[in-house]
Amino acid sequence: MVKITFSPVLELVIHEAVEMTRDDLLLERVTPAGNLPLYWCGGIIFSFSSVPMTDDIVKEYLKGRIHWLEVHFARMDKYVPVITWESQEYKSTMNVRVIDTSTSGLHKEFVQWLKDNVKKK
Protein backbone atom coordinates (compact mmCIF):
# COMPACT_ATOMS: atom_id res chain seq x y z
CA MET A 1 0.00 0.00 0.00
CA VAL A 2 1.29 3.46 -0.91
CA LYS A 3 1.31 6.07 1.80
CA ILE A 4 -0.16 9.37 0.61
CA THR A 5 0.64 12.50 2.58
CA PHE A 6 -1.11 15.81 2.06
CA SER A 7 1.20 18.74 2.76
CA PRO A 8 -0.66 22.02 2.24
CA VAL A 9 1.00 25.38 1.78
CA LEU A 10 1.72 26.94 5.16
CA GLU A 11 2.77 30.38 3.95
CA LEU A 12 2.43 32.39 0.76
CA VAL A 13 5.01 35.16 0.40
CA ILE A 14 3.91 37.88 -2.03
CA HIS A 15 6.76 40.14 -3.04
CA GLU A 16 4.63 42.64 -4.99
CA ALA A 17 0.91 43.04 -5.73
CA VAL A 18 -0.12 45.47 -8.46
CA GLU A 19 -3.71 46.41 -9.24
CA MET A 20 -4.20 47.28 -12.89
CA THR A 21 -7.02 47.93 -15.28
CA ARG A 22 -8.76 44.88 -16.63
CA ASP A 23 -7.60 45.69 -20.18
CA ASP A 24 -3.95 46.05 -19.14
CA LEU A 25 -4.16 42.75 -17.26
CA LEU A 26 -5.66 41.08 -20.32
CA LEU A 27 -3.03 42.55 -22.65
CA GLU A 28 -0.18 41.22 -20.54
CA ARG A 29 -1.51 37.69 -21.11
CA VAL A 30 -1.25 38.05 -24.92
CA THR A 31 1.97 36.49 -26.23
CA PRO A 32 3.22 35.64 -29.73
CA ALA A 33 2.75 31.95 -28.84
CA GLY A 34 -0.87 32.44 -27.71
CA ASN A 35 -2.86 33.89 -24.85
CA LEU A 36 -2.11 32.78 -21.30
CA PRO A 37 -5.08 32.23 -18.97
CA LEU A 38 -5.96 34.27 -15.90
CA TYR A 39 -7.25 32.98 -12.57
CA TRP A 40 -10.54 34.13 -11.00
CA CYS A 41 -11.48 33.81 -7.36
CA GLY A 42 -13.85 35.81 -5.16
CA GLY A 43 -14.31 38.77 -7.50
CA ILE A 44 -10.65 39.11 -8.52
CA ILE A 45 -8.90 38.09 -11.75
CA PHE A 46 -5.16 37.68 -11.39
CA SER A 47 -1.90 36.29 -12.66
CA PHE A 48 1.28 35.63 -10.76
CA SER A 49 4.89 34.87 -11.48
CA SER A 50 6.84 32.52 -9.29
CA VAL A 51 10.42 32.88 -8.17
CA PRO A 52 12.85 30.74 -10.24
CA MET A 53 13.28 27.30 -8.71
CA THR A 54 16.75 27.52 -7.20
CA ASP A 55 17.92 25.00 -4.59
CA ASP A 56 16.99 27.45 -1.81
CA ILE A 57 13.49 28.04 -3.21
CA VAL A 58 12.89 24.30 -3.57
CA LYS A 59 13.80 23.92 0.12
CA GLU A 60 11.27 26.68 0.94
CA TYR A 61 8.56 24.92 -1.09
CA LEU A 62 9.23 21.63 0.67
CA LYS A 63 8.73 23.41 4.01
CA GLY A 64 5.34 24.73 2.81
CA ARG A 65 6.47 28.28 2.03
CA ILE A 66 5.89 29.43 -1.54
CA HIS A 67 6.85 32.71 -3.18
CA TRP A 68 4.98 34.74 -5.77
CA LEU A 69 7.38 37.34 -7.12
CA GLU A 70 4.69 39.53 -8.63
CA VAL A 71 0.89 39.42 -8.69
CA HIS A 72 -1.13 41.49 -11.15
CA PHE A 73 -4.85 41.72 -10.54
CA ALA A 74 -8.08 43.50 -11.40
CA ARG A 75 -11.54 43.37 -9.93
CA MET A 76 -14.18 41.35 -11.77
CA ASP A 77 -17.29 40.52 -9.76
CA LYS A 78 -18.71 37.73 -11.92
CA TYR A 79 -16.82 34.73 -13.28
CA VAL A 80 -16.81 34.17 -17.03
CA PRO A 81 -14.78 31.40 -18.71
CA VAL A 82 -13.56 33.64 -21.57
CA ILE A 83 -13.13 37.40 -21.68
CA THR A 84 -13.55 38.87 -25.15
CA TRP A 85 -12.64 42.46 -25.89
CA GLU A 86 -11.70 44.71 -28.77
CA SER A 87 -8.01 45.52 -28.56
CA GLN A 88 -7.21 48.98 -29.86
CA GLU A 89 -3.50 48.15 -29.75
CA TYR A 90 -3.79 45.02 -31.90
CA LYS A 91 -6.85 46.22 -33.83
CA SER A 92 -8.60 42.91 -33.34
CA THR A 93 -10.95 40.96 -31.11
CA MET A 94 -9.02 39.21 -28.33
CA ASN A 95 -9.96 36.27 -26.10
CA VAL A 96 -8.38 35.27 -22.80
CA ARG A 97 -9.41 32.16 -20.89
CA VAL A 98 -10.24 32.52 -17.21
CA ILE A 99 -9.86 29.60 -14.82
CA ASP A 100 -12.21 29.53 -11.83
CA THR A 101 -10.06 28.67 -8.81
CA SER A 102 -12.70 29.53 -6.21
CA THR A 103 -12.40 26.04 -4.71
CA SER A 104 -8.69 26.57 -3.97
CA GLY A 105 -8.11 27.27 -0.29
CA LEU A 106 -4.86 29.06 -1.12
CA HIS A 107 -6.48 31.31 -3.72
CA LYS A 108 -9.44 32.11 -1.44
CA GLU A 109 -7.12 33.18 1.37
CA PHE A 110 -4.94 35.15 -1.05
CA VAL A 111 -7.93 37.05 -2.48
CA GLN A 112 -9.17 37.85 1.02
CA TRP A 113 -5.70 39.15 1.88
CA LEU A 114 -5.78 41.35 -1.25
CA LYS A 115 -9.18 42.77 -0.32
CA ASP A 116 -8.03 43.49 3.25
CA ASN A 117 -4.59 44.92 2.42
CA VAL A 118 -4.60 46.55 -0.99
CA LYS A 119 -6.48 49.82 -1.27
CA LYS A 120 -9.06 50.02 -4.03
CA LYS A 121 -8.16 52.37 -6.88
**Domains of the chain: which residue ranges?**
11-117
Is there a contact between 102 and 5 (Cβ–Cβ < 8 Å)? no
Cβ within 8 Å of residue 93, ≥6 positions away? 84, 85, 86, 87
- pLDDT higher for 108 or 85? 108
pTM of the predicted model, to two decimals?
0.88
- pLDDT higher for 89 or 84? 84
Per-residue confidence at 67, pLDDT binned at 50, 70, 90?
very high
- Whether residue 121 is predicted with pLDDT greater than 70 in this model: the reply is no
Phi-psi region of 91 (alpha: psi -120 to 50; beta: other; left: phi over 0): left
Q: Over the chain, what is the mean pLDDT?
A: 92
